Amino acid sequence: MRLRTMGRRGERGLTLIEVLVSFFILFVVTLAVLQLLSMAYLVNLGALTRTELTYKAQQVVEMIRLQRYRFGGLLETPSALELNCCPVGINSSMTIANGDSAYVSNNCDQFWGPARANLIDASARYSLNYTIDVSSSVTVRAIPLTTGANQYLGPAAGKVVVYVAQLH
Structural contact between residues 113 and 70, judged by C-beta atoms closer than 8 angstroms? no
Burial letters for 104-134: b for 16+ Cβ neighbours within 10 Å, e otherwise?
eebebbebbbeebbebbeeebbbbbbbebee
Q: Is the pLDDT of residue 147 over 60?
A: yes
Q: Is the pLDDT of residue 5 over 60?
A: no
Q: Provide the 3-class DSSP secondary structure of residue 143.
A: strand
Mean pLDDT of 15-35: 93
Q: Provide the 3-class DSSP secondary structure of residue 130.
A: strand
Whole-angstrom distance, CA of residue 80 vs CA of residue 87? 10
* pTM of the full structure: 0.75
Q: What is the pLDDT of residues 59-78, one digit of tens each?
A: 999 999 988 888 876 667 77
Instruction: Give how far Cα 5 sits from Cα of 9, 56, 90, 122, Å.
Output: 7, 79, 98, 80
